[in-house]
Amino acid sequence: MAELTSAFPTASIEQTENVLLVKLRERDEQAFEEVFFLYKELVYNLAFKLLKDKAEALDVTQEVFLTLHRTIHRFRGECKLKTWIYRVTINHA
């Protein structure tokens, strides 16, 4: 079994995030979808926790990902992408 797991090198989360970030800045729709599927639950759950309203949490989730799409070029990389998305969610909520 060890042979199977060592045959395929796994990229670190940081490397994966860096690749996604480059693709997002290039307006790669597949990268955007991947980020959406990675973080949609985090965004919705945080928004719901703050707002206590399902409809409002869904609206905030939509706004967060629209903001991400429109402003990814302003992300300076001083924190992880996940942290930035978390902060954008708090700001929208």
Domain assignments of the chain as residue spans, ordered by start = 14-92
Burial grade of 3 (CB within 10 A; 0-12, 13-18, 19 or more): exposed
pLDDT score recorded for residue 66? 96
pLDDT above 60 (res 9): no
Across 13-27, 56-70, 79-93, least confident range: 13-27
**What is the rounded CA–CA span in Å between residue 81 and residue 53?**
26
pLDDT above 60 (res 43): yes
Among candidate residues 21, 13, 17, 14, the one with its CA nearest the CA of residue 73? 21
Cβ(23)–Cβ(30) under 8 Å? Answer: yes
Whether domain 14-92 has CATH 3.40.718.10: the reply is no
Kindly indicate the confidence band of residue 18, based on its pLDDT and cuts at 50, 70 and 90.
confident
Share of the chain above pLDDT 70, in %: 85
Number of helices (H), then strands (E), belonging to the chain: the values are 5, 0
Kindly indicate the confidence band of residue 11, based on its pLDDT and cuts at 50, 70 and 90.
low
